[in-house]
Structure 1
Amino acid sequence: MATPTSESFIRSFARGLTVIEAMGRSGEAHTVSTLATATSLPRTVVRRILLTLCELGYVATDEREFRLTPKILNLGMTYLTSLPFWGHAQRALEDLCAQIQESCALTVFDGNVVTYILRIPSRKILSLRLGVGSRIPAYATSPGRIALAHLSAAALDTYLKDRQFRRYTPKTVDTAEHLLPLLAEVRQNGYAWVDGEYDESVCGLAVPIYDTQRNVVAALNVNMLSRQISRDKAVDTKLGPLLEAAHRLDGIAPAFLRPI
């Protein structure tokens, strides 16, 4: 938790935010004990915070484990949707979805994972259920590989150091030695392609979004059914529209989308 720097610092409020951030990092259910360990706060303090969040509707519990509810998105979305960029992004993704008939999403690299901040679903049903606020592994997804491919050498080394690669499917890349050549390919091609590594039935194509200094700040991606499309066909039919949509957002991203 942050160290107080003035008399105006409200310790209880800061502790509440610390608990929320700890819960959001994994997206899984937590016990009082696991959150106390993750936040370095006393168990009694964590429990009071969790029960308060339950009363407010931001957390749900089965008496033992606690999980964030979708209401938590309200804390950020009111601000996000007020930004002019959001209107541009919404229209760009809606136009892209209508053109290619696939689910489209805007994502950011957040710590060690990729977070969905805007998504337009298509009529096609995917087994992979993702929405605003969803957090997915960077190494096994196309927007994540966009982010990793544009990290500095030091930042990438930090990400890979002691990383435990979970095998979500038999196709999941599970070592740094296998991942690094794929990231080099992303930098060379200007796009990322991942097929069946996070969900066996889903493939993804992603491209970067830049700020005014040509730093990558986000990624735009489409998810498709693997059985319906090959990489070559996806590149031939989807990459062009995807790049056009990304170009509409280049240079206008708000300041909170920090360079990767």
Structure 2
Amino acid sequence: MEDEPDEARSRDRIQSIERGIEVLRAFDGRNSALSVADIATKVGFSRPVVRRILLTFAHLGYAEQAHGLWNLTPRILELSVGYFGASSLPEVSYPFMSEVVERTGETCSVGTLDRHEVLHVARLEDRRPMPHSVRVGTRLPAHATATGKVLLAHLSSEALEEFLATSPFEVHTPHTITTAAAMRDRLATIREQGFDISEEELHPGMVAAAVAILHDGVAIGGISVSSTTVRASEEVLRQTIVPVLQEAAARISAQYRYANPHLSQRQHR
């Protein structure tokens, strides 16, 4: 059976839930306390609609108001329990990420692809402070990050074409990839060598290396090490960091398979 067109599927969606999720997403890592007006501006809803949604979340215990500002409560973490279980990618990855940090002395992250962005689902930092530090839940543009590109390199042809046709390719530094043609060339190199190294493509002075975590040939995530140009060069990343990441990715993949025996190869076809 062919997929239903978008307009047909939209009739089966509940708009109030979609709006509620948009309001929750307004509380990102940079904005933990917001006014009704702030949220209305961010999500594009009227203030009365935003207020009713916030009052609903407050009734459920997921939000609270103080001095005219709204913030989420710790109870919101209940909503992530189903994902962050013992067999989830973050929980499986953390022991191996700890080894990566110990062996490299650098920050290690695991991310997944969500449309045009990389969503960080696990992160461990070395004791040395990192500029532009991200947290679990932070989203970064896929086209400007090493993790994003190794995940893009493993997309199906159809999914990749959709990404290339719709990605805004925003410019972050002079080194950011800004065209579909340049991205195609970069992804071909990644498929050939099995990793990516990003030099100052998102932030000046920042470098990163990443490897895909594969399950039955499908990239379920990417593991990366990020550093600064002061501490690590491309050669250092290639010679010393990439082999550590490749080993960690293989071990995470094996453990993920063991923890999720129900995810057979047939389910990925």
TM bucket (normalised to shorter chain) is 0.7 to 0.9
Q: Which amino acid counterpart does residue 204 of structure 1 have in structure 2?
A: A
Pairwise CA distance, 1:170: 1.9
Pairwise CA distance, 1:26: 10
Q: Residues 59, 17 of structure 1: CA spacing in aligned structure 2 closer, same or farther, 3 A cutoff? A: farther
Q: Residues 25, 152 of structure 1: CA spacing in aligned structure 2 closer, same or farther, 3 A cutoff? A: farther
SS class of match (1:220): strand
Matches within 5 A, 1:142-221: 142-211=146-215, 213-221=216-224
Matched, 1:19 2:20: yes
Q: Residues 62, 220 of structure 1: CA spacing in aligned structure 2 closer, same or farther, 3 A cutoff? A: farther
Matches within 5 A, 1:136-147: 136-147=140-151
The answer to whether the 8 A contact 1:108-1:115 is kept is: yes
Counterpart of 1:112 in structure 2 is: 116
1:138-187, Cα deviation, whole Å (9 max, x unpaired): 00000000111111222111112143221111221111122211111111
Matched, 1:35 2:75: no
The aligned length equals 243
Q: Residues 51, 141 of structure 1: CA spacing in aligned structure 2 closer, same or farther, 3 A cutoff? A: same
Instruction: Point out the more displaced range, 19-28 or 242-251.
Output: 19-28
The answer to whether the 8 A contact 1:36-1:43 is kept is: no
In structure 2, stretches of 5+ residues that fail to align are 1-8, 32-37
TM-score, with length taken from structure 2: 0.77
The answer to whether the 8 A contact 1:208-1:216 is kept is: yes
Counterpart of 1:224 in structure 2 is: 227
Following the alignment from structure 2 to structure 1, what is the Cα–Cα distance between the partners of residues 222 and 11?
33
Q: Residues 97, 32 of structure 1: CA spacing in aligned structure 2 closer, same or farther, 3 A cutoff? A: same
Q: Which amino acid counterpart does residue 211 of structure 2 have in structure 1?
A: V
SS class of match (1:83): coil
Instruction: Point out the more displaced range, 28-37 or 55-64.
Output: 55-64
Following the alignment from structure 1 to structure 2, what is the Cα–Cα distance between the partners of residues 151 and 180?
12
User: What is the RMSD of the two structures over their aligned residues, measured on CA atoms?
Assistant: 3.2
1:101-160, Cα deviation, whole Å (9 max, x unpaired): 110011100122100001001122221110100000000000000111111222111112
Q: Residues 244, 162 of structure 1: CA spacing in aligned structure 2 closer, same or farther, 3 A cutoff? A: closer
Matches within 5 A, 1:94-109: 94-109=98-113
Pairwise CA distance, 1:32: 2.2
Pairwise CA distance, 1:235: 1.1
Matched, 1:238 2:241: yes
Pairwise CA distance, 1:24: 3.0
SS class of match (1:161): helix
Q: Residues 153, 119 of structure 1: CA spacing in aligned structure 2 closer, same or farther, 3 A cutoff? A: same
Following the alignment from structure 1 to structure 2, what is the Cα–Cα distance between the partners of residues 73 and 210?
30
The answer to whether the 8 A contact 2:208-2:237 is kept is: no
1:197-239, Cα deviation, whole Å (9 max, x unpaired): 111121110001111x221111001101122222122111111
Following the alignment from structure 1 to structure 2, what is the Cα–Cα distance between the partners of residues 105 and 224?
11
Matches within 5 A, 1:8-87: 15-16=16-17, 18-21=19-22, 24=25, 27=28, 31-32=39-40, 35-36=43-44, 44-53=48-57, 56=61, 58=63, 69=72, 71=74, 74-85=77-88, 86-87=90-91
Following the alignment from structure 1 to structure 2, what is the Cα–Cα distance between the partners of residues 112 and 26?
19
